[in-house]
């Protein structure tokens, strides 16, 4: 499944983001730290910007953020790991590759630095705290566009996880790939 995702992106933008590398990838994150989260969604060379396949604006399309990040989208959509977060909060083990990728993604979403030295438990705790932050502008724009521009449907206290779930449901209803 991850191999398929890679092959669908042939714009060369993910040449240094191989999600299959797991812990090896985490080691490379350690070297580049916040640089990777800041440049990922930005207009680095133009090729990334051209690629929204969802009919939205790639400068804020949340689906592009999730799909192009280089971590299993099931993790970033909250499907793969969220149910385990409360159990993992007591773990002193090093972060798994997936957990590190999830934390790195969410830190980038809130324009915060990513600390690659977190334990699995610290990462789970911080991730849980990100999920109850208010929805981001990117999420709200994506939701508004997907729901036909009717922004009145979005409640003002929508959380990050709540907005993500609404986007995922809307995407599933509309048959877009990703969720
Ligand atoms: Zn898109």
Q: Does any domain span residue 6?
A: no
Count the domains in the chain: 1
Q: Does any domain span residue 111?
A: yes
- How large a percentage of the chain has pLDDT more than 90? 58
pLDDT band for position 114 (50/70/90)? Answer: very high
Helix (H, G, I), strand (E, B) or coil at 132: coil
Who's near 70: CB < 8 A, 6+ residues apart? 14, 17, 18, 19, 40, 101
Q: Does any domain span residue 117?
A: yes
Helix (H, G, I), strand (E, B) or coil at 134: strand
Q: Does any domain span residue 158?
A: no
Among residues 132, 122, 142, which one has the least CA distance to residue 59?
142
| Residues 105 and 95: beta-carbon distance below 8 Å | no
Residue 15 has pLDDT above 50, yes or no: no
Ligand 1 centroid from CA 175, angstroms:
14
Ligand 1 centroid from CA 24, angstroms:
28
CB neighbours of residue 148 within 10 Å: 8
Ligand 1 centroid from CA 89, angstroms:
33
Please tell me the predicted confidence (pLDDT) of residue 25: 41
Who's near 57: CB < 8 A, 6+ residues apart? 141, 145
Please tell me the predicted confidence (pLDDT) of residue 172: 84
Ligand 1 centroid from CA 55, angstroms:
7
Q: Does any domain span residue 2?
A: no
Among residues 26, 164, 166, 174, which one has the least CA distance to residue 82?
164
Please tell me the predicted confidence (pLDDT) of residue 20: 44
Q: Does any domain span residue 145?
A: no
Considering all CA atoms of the chain, what is the largest pairwise distance in Å, rounded to the nearest integer?
A: 45
Host domain of residue 112: 15-133
| Residues 63 and 178: beta-carbon distance below 8 Å | yes
Q: What is the mean pLDDT of residues 57-86?
A: 96
pLDDT, mean over the chain:
78
Please tell me the predicted confidence (pLDDT) of residue 148: 74
The CA–CA distances, whole Å, from 1 to 4, 7, 75, 147 equal 5, 10, 13, 28
Q: Does any domain span residue 85?
A: yes
Q: What is the mean pLDDT of residues 90-101?
A: 97
Ligand 1 centroid from CA 128, angstroms:
25
pLDDT band for position 156 (50/70/90)? Answer: confident
Q: Does any domain span residue 159?
A: no
């Amino acid at each position: 499944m991850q191999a398929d995702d890679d092959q669908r992106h042939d714009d060369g933008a993910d040449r240094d983001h191989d999600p299959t590398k797991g812990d090896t990838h985490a080691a490379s994150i350690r070297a580049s730290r916040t640089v990777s989260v800041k440049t990922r969604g930005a207009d680095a060379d133009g090729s990334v910007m051209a690629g929204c396949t969802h009919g939205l604006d790639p400068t804020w399309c949340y689906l592009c953020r999730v799909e192009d990040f280089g971590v299993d989208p099931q993790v970033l959509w909250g499907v793969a790991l969220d149910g385990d977060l409360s159990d993992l909060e007591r773990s002193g083990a090093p972060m798994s590759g997936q957990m590190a990728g999830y934390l790195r993604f969410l830190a980038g979403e809130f324009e915060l630095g990513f600390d690659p030295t977190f334990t699995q438990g610290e990462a789970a705790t911080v991730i849980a705290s990100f999920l109850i932050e208010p929805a981001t502008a990117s999420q709200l724009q994506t939701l508004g566009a997907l729901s036909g521009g009717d922004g009145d449907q979005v409640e003002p206290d929508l959380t990050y996880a709540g907005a993500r779930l609404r986007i995922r449901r809307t995407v599933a209803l509309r048959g877009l790939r990703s969720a």
